[in-house]
Structure 1
Amino acid sequence: MSSAPATGTVPGYTAGTWKADPAHSEIAFTVRQLTVSKVCGLFTCSDITIVTSEDPLGSSVTATIDTASLGTGKERRDDHLRSADYFDVAKYPTMSYRSTGIRRSGDGWAVDGELTFRGVTRKVPLAVGANGFGPAESGARRARFSATAQISRRHFGLRIPMDGIGGVVGDKVSITLDVEAVLQK
């Protein structure tokens, strides 16, 4: 799970089970609106576990995200996003991701996995980087991982208003994760 060459080692790489530190992690999304602007948002509540194995190809990740924890900085928009039109948090309070494999991808790594959102499960690969392993001031061993993906709202059953004529909200959603994780004992 690094951008290091396949034959090299990731400095400080440590096998083990890691839990995301919510205070130092971010799950963000971006979607086009009215074809010229974009809306950015964050999910503030999640549970992410990363298991690094001696061979990085044997590593895995699972994540559960509280859909009600989304925020875009505009209360009215956030309430609409939480409604049945979009996230439907009353019916689907969480979305989840489960890796199914890890592979080399160019100069980096890709995590193949499945995202379950609004009761629909689709394959969503993540472009992943391990940004560092090392001790924190607290003495706990920490690691930083980043990941990006793009999903289609249509694939998860979300309607696209004014589809075909420039849509109010775009179909493609970019997802960015920046996760600082703590090695579990």
Structure 2
Amino acid sequence: MEAGVVEIPGYLAATWAIDPAHSYVGFVVRHLMIAKVRGHFTGVEGTITTAAEPLGSSVTAAIDLASVSTGNAQRDAHLRSADFLEVEKFPTMSYRSTAIRLDGHGHVMDGELTLKDVTRPVSLKLEVNGFGPDPFAAEPFRGGRAGFTATGEINRMDFGVSYNGPIPGGGMALGEKVDIVLEIEAARTGA
């Protein structure tokens, strides 16, 4: 094996549809300077193309911002409002990869995230979890599930998500950094 090449056991070049029922699109943000609040989006769709040469692979995804869930209905409604995501005006967040590259012993996916009509470059650390059979799929797609993990961070201010409030004693109610955690399972749709 060449130096710097990452082996991906069972790798399969194909086109895949993100399975929202078996995927997690999550985020973590600092709250009141002392804790972290976690949330996720249940509405996700997209296409992953694993190329014959893995570094030629690509991803496109769209997230339904109204599907945000933090486990608190009042907070979720506030996140959907004009203070944060403005889902009535901007219902979708999207991501489009621009390159996949080696980074040490792993991969990084470079891409463009669009939120509230603002597009910024966002790189995600990418982990290929594996490829396996789909026992529920019709032939010829029995070899048809793939799993990926991606993590990264954005500054919400870069996307115009700037609502905040001071807290007594100093500091702000919300951190600007948002950690992104993606656990994606996808089903094969074609060769």
TM-score (norm 1): 0.93
Asked whether the equivalents of residues 160 and 170 of structure 1 are also in contact (C-alpha less than 8 Å), the reply is: no
Partner of 2:139: none
Q: Residue type of the partner of 2:154?
A: I
1: CA distance, partners of 2:115 / 2:180: 14
Asked whether the equivalents of residues 6 and 105 of structure 2 are also in contact (C-alpha less than 8 Å), the reply is: no
Partner of 2:179: 174
2: CA distance, partners of 1:92 / 1:49: 21
1:145 aligned onto 2:145: no
Alignment length, in residue pairs? 181
Q: How far did 1:8 drift?
A: 5.0
2: CA distance, partners of 1:7 / 1:161: 44
Q: How far did 1:7 drift?
A: 3.2
Query: Paired residue for 1:89, among 77, 87, 90?
Result: 87
Instruction: Decide whether aligned partners of structure 1 residues 84 and 16 sit closer, same or farther in structure 2, where only a CA change above 3 A counts.
Output: same
1: CA distance, partners of 2:45 / 2:144: 18
Q: Tell which structure's C-alpha radius of gyration is larger.
A: 2
Instruction: Decide whether aligned partners of structure 1 residues 35 and 8 sit closer, same or farther in structure 2, where only a CA change above 3 A counts.
Output: closer
2: CA distance, partners of 1:123 / 1:161: 24
Partner of 1:48: 46
Q: How far did 1:157 drift?
A: 1.4
5+ unaligned residues in a row in structure 2: which ranges?
Answer: 137-141
2: CA distance, partners of 1:8 / 1:153: 32
2: CA distance, partners of 1:175 / 1:183: 25
Query: Paired residue for 1:11, among 1, 9, 20?
Result: 9
2: CA distance, partners of 1:10 / 1:20: 20
Q: Residue type of the partner of 2:177?
A: K
Q: How far did 1:6 drift?
A: 3.9
1: CA distance, partners of 2:100 / 2:132: 23
Partner of 1:79: 77
SS of the residue 1:124 aligns to:
strand
Q: Deviations over 1:90-123 (max 9, x none)?
A: 0000010001111101211001000000110000
Identity %: 50
Let me know the Cα RMSD of the aligned residues: 1.5
Moved more, 73-82 or 133-142: 133-142
2: CA distance, partners of 1:104 / 1:7: 8
Instruction: Decide whether aligned partners of structure 1 residues 8 and 99 sit closer, same or farther in structure 2, where only a CA change above 3 A counts.
Output: closer
SS of the residue 1:125 aligns to:
strand
Q: How far did 1:12 drift?
A: 0.8
Instruction: Decide whether aligned partners of structure 1 residues 123 and 163 sit closer, same or farther in structure 2, where only a CA change above 3 A counts.
Output: farther
Q: Residue type of the partner of 1:151?
A: I
5+ unaligned residues in a row in structure 1: which ranges?
Answer: none
1: CA distance, partners of 2:34 / 2:27: 17
Q: Deviations over 1:66-92 (max 9, x none)?
A: 000000010000000000000000000
